[in-house]
Structure 1
Amino acid sequence: MAQQRKRNPNGAGTITKRKDGRYQAAVYVMQPDGSRARKFAYGKTWTECDTKRRELLDKADQGIPVPTRSAKLADWLPYWLEHVVRPRRKLSTFDKYEAHVRLYLVPMIGTKRLESLGVADVRRFLTRLEKQTTAATAKESHRVLRSALSAACREELLTRNVASLVEPSRVTARELSPWTLDETLTFLGAARKDPLYAAFVLAVTMGLRRGEIVGLRWSDVDLENRVLYVRQQTQRRRGELYSDGPKGRRSRAIPLPAMCVAPLRWHRMRQAAAKRKAGEKWQDSAYVFTTGTGRPVEPRNVYQSFTRVANSAGLRVIRLHDARHGCATLLVAAGVPPRVVMEILGHSQISITMDVYTHVVQDTQREAISHMDRMLKRRPDRG
């Protein structure tokens, strides 16, 4: 009696016996560019071939691309951005990754196929990019490529991540030069009449980032118990203001210094007066820092006001972000342990805090040595 041919349901692929005695499975699978194509798998027995067919179907059901041949980086990177990065990362991160893919990775190394990409290819790419741009740009592109290839490994398109075998470009650390205590006090004195005075106090005393200041809501501020909650940040992306979780998606509760309470109370009274004046034009956004009609302030306007006040006080202009370093300087000089400084500033890694900590310790050591010089010079002459 002839053996009955085994059939699979529609859409489940086919298995046929070849002239060489092997079995061949054919299944339609998704490609990295979103299209569909037939993928073939082979086995010595029908059962072995059927197992491979089922594996291909499982990947197709999960939306995992299975290229019929090794995909080019120019095909994989856009898929990775759209299906891996966009659903899981912040919009700001997506935009940064997309820029590196569009400007550098695809034009300079996009023709390479995933499986044929080697360590030497990645190293040549980084060297060339660093010559054309900067070491920082090359280092960031290396990070983007390494992340994209890691995703390809997880989806079994690659067996190893060659980008992880290449050392990133070395970037010269930016020299920290925050304001001294006297400069900070001069700035706060000059900013007292500015509408954003409370924002500047928070930046200096608590090290809040600009996006965290703009994204602060009154529900995040507990003036009675003197606690401030950092739960979100507001940024402008693609021409629109949007709110997202704090950097590193780490919310934090920080004790509110006493000197912040009065400026925030004063600011709330000013905002209430602005609301009465605006009348129906007021848009109740619940944000702490708003425009005259209740809209959240623009992040760039916070920095512009910060710069204007610094100039009016005759101070050297620094970045608003450097106020975070100034906060770290004051905390460390007060003897606060690095781990506590890390939690206050919301650093994702203790190494970031230690970079600031080491800088401050060096200044403290220099001051201690100068004290020693003065003490030794006071020794009276014996005669």
Structure 2
Amino acid sequence: MRGQLIKRAKGSWSIVLSYKDPATNKWMKKWHTFHGKKPDAEKYLNELAGQLQNGTYVPMNKFTVTTWLEYWLEEIFKPKGAAATYKSYKDTVYNHIIPEFGMLALQSLSAEHLQTYYNKKLQTLSSTSVLYHHRVLHTALEHARRFKKIQHNPCDDITPPQKAVFEAELPDAQMVEGVLVEINGTVMYMPVVLALTTGMRRGEICGLTWSNVYLDEGFIHIGQAMKKNHENSLVIDTTKTKRARDIPLTEECRVTLKAQRAAQAEARLFFGQAYQNNDLVCCWEDGRELDPDYVTKSWTKIKKKLGIEKKTRYHDLRHNFATALLTMGKNMKVVSDLLRHADIRTTYNFYAHVEMEAKKEAIQGLDEKLFNKGKKISGFTSR
């Protein structure tokens, strides 16, 4: 087996592997293209030669990074993946990854290319965003390895950026009061009250139906959410974690729900046959579905109109719900169940610091209680 390195252009090399086919006893050639420095090209040549000798060689194919990512998105991920995740992956692939090295041959993509890409992106994006890019690439390239389009996943040779620590800016009571006064009588009132008092996600709120609301018993059943499908149409599907839960209602929420139901009864009379009876708790005046994206964008507009400088997102109302319960001394397991986290470790990762602060507050004054108001006690000896 012989190997040859041929320079084609600046930073471009042809690798020629000559070997004898054991079946025909004839000499065969395998051609590869490599983009990079000569030492790296020589290293790649030696790797290919070793693969030929030990039987792990993957034949050269015509896939570029672009054509593989497009194939992976449309043929592998899309048929089984969630529509929202597909859209997010597609945005990442087309807006970030392909413009950087989409023209490279798939088999020539190296850890060095990825490291350069991550370093560049970290100049303008958060480490959490770049970590997301890494996960998209790793998943796509792992499928390429399984499909024998590449011999090795270069993402395995990279230490990805650490996820940035996120601290939500929670609303205070004054901000909540101001927002509720502003949105009173609008389609946003019910979604905000539900987020504040139940910790529901925006899709769960927009997908909540009256058949899952038990006002007399004082709870709601959460097992579905409003989402967008691959055709960008609103549909009701199972919740994010597929864990159905019964969530108790506060008195404020129960009163608001009763008022909402009465208002919808009047709207049905007003619109008549034009009313779209989808049984939704949160909807437009004529019964049409409320888009979760609209809820998020409206929240931002409301804050801007009121001159609120805090970076509180609509989703942070969910965090506010959990934080309030923990600072009241409620059990972490109970809070995790109310949030419908699939794993309690997720709750701990988000709220462990809140629980610790609550514990510190709980023991304030304990010394005074146990040790006669903090008076120094002598006479202890060690044995």
> 1:191/1:379 Cα in 2 relative to 1: closer, same or farther (>3 Å)?
farther
> 1:23/1:232 Cα in 2 relative to 1: closer, same or farther (>3 Å)?
farther
Q: Would you say 1:166 and 2:158 are equivalent positions? A: yes
1:173-227, Cα deviation, whole Å (9 max, x unpaired): 2222323567657766886655544332221121111222112122232334444
> 1:287/1:244 Cα in 2 relative to 1: closer, same or farther (>3 Å)?
closer
CA distance in 2 between partners of 1:19 and 1:258 (Å): 76
Aligned to 1:178: 170
> 1:137/1:367 Cα in 2 relative to 1: closer, same or farther (>3 Å)?
same
CA distance in 1 between partners of 2:94 and 2:304 (Å): 39
Following superposition, the deviation at residue 23 of structure 1 comes to: 9.4
TM-score, scaled relative to structure 2? 0.70
Following superposition, the deviation at residue 275 of structure 1 comes to: 0.8
Match of 1:281 among 252, 270, 274: 274
CA distance in 1 between partners of 2:368 and 2:183 (Å): 36
Following superposition, the deviation at residue 281 of structure 1 comes to: 1.8
Aligned length: 322
1:74-119, Cα deviation, whole Å (9 max, x unpaired): 1111000001111111111111111111122222122333333332
Q: Secondary structure, in 3 states, of the residue corresponding to 2:78?
A: helix
1:56-86, Cα deviation, whole Å (9 max, x unpaired): xxxxxxxxxx986262211111000001111
CA distance in 1 between partners of 2:374 and 2:360 (Å): 25
1:139-186, Cα deviation, whole Å (9 max, x unpaired): 211110011012223323334322133222234322223235676577
> 1:353/1:257 Cα in 2 relative to 1: closer, same or farther (>3 Å)?
same
Q: Is the 8 A contact 1:216 1:232 kept in 2?
A: yes
> 1:107/1:304 Cα in 2 relative to 1: closer, same or farther (>3 Å)?
closer
> 1:379/1:183 Cα in 2 relative to 1: closer, same or farther (>3 Å)?
farther
CA distance in 1 between partners of 2:368 and 2:169 (Å): 26
Aligned to 1:143: 135
Q: Would you say 1:208 and 2:200 are equivalent positions? A: yes
Aligned to 2:346: 352
1:251-281, Cα deviation, whole Å (9 max, x unpaired): 4222322423332122111101111011122
> 1:279/1:167 Cα in 2 relative to 1: closer, same or farther (>3 Å)?
same
Aligned to 2:284: 291
Q: Secondary structure, in 3 states, of the residue corresponding to 1:286?
A: coil
Aligned to 2:258: 265
Q: How does 1:57-68 map to 2 (within 5 A)?
A: none
Following superposition, the deviation at residue 312 of structure 1 comes to: 9.1
Q: Is the 8 A contact 1:90 1:244 kept in 2?
A: no
Q: Secondary structure, in 3 states, of the residue corresponding to 1:291?
A: coil
CA distance in 2 between partners of 1:100 and 1:341 (Å): 33
Aligned to 2:191: 199
Q: Would you say 1:325 and 2:327 are equivalent positions? A: no
1:311-353, Cα deviation, whole Å (9 max, x unpaired): 8999765211111111111222343333332232133443431
TM-score, scaled relative to structure 1? 0.70
> 1:244/1:136 Cα in 2 relative to 1: closer, same or farther (>3 Å)?
farther
Q: Which 10-residue stretch deviates more, 97-106 or 176-185?
A: 176-185
Q: Secondary structure, in 3 states, of the residue corresponding to 1:234?
A: strand
CA distance in 2 between partners of 1:142 and 1:149 (Å): 10
CA distance in 2 between partners of 1:247 and 1:216 (Å): 11
Q: Secondary structure, in 3 states, of the residue corresponding to 1:248?
A: coil
The one-letter code matched in structure 1 to 2:76 is V
> 1:160/1:246 Cα in 2 relative to 1: closer, same or farther (>3 Å)?
farther
The one-letter code matched in structure 1 to 2:168 is L
> 1:118/1:301 Cα in 2 relative to 1: closer, same or farther (>3 Å)?
closer
Q: Secondary structure, in 3 states, of the residue corresponding to 1:254?
A: strand
Aligned to 1:343: 337
Q: Would you say 1:256 and 2:258 are equivalent positions? A: no
CA distance in 1 between partners of 2:126 and 2:303 (Å): 30
Q: Is the 8 A contact 1:179 1:326 kept in 2?
A: yes
Unaligned runs of 5+ in 2: 1-19, 27-57, 376-383
Aligned to 2:90: 98
CA distance in 2 between partners of 1:204 and 1:265 (Å): 17
CA distance in 1 between partners of 2:368 and 2:360 (Å): 13
Instruction: Supply the RMSD in Å over aligned alpha carbons.
Output: 3.9
The one-letter code matched in structure 2 to 1:71 is F
CA distance in 2 between partners of 1:268 and 1:134 (Å): 43
Unaligned runs of 5+ in 1: 1-17, 25-65
The one-letter code matched in structure 2 to 1:273 is E
Following superposition, the deviation at residue 371 of structure 1 comes to: 5.4
Q: Which 10-residue stretch deviates more, 158-167 or 175-184?
A: 175-184
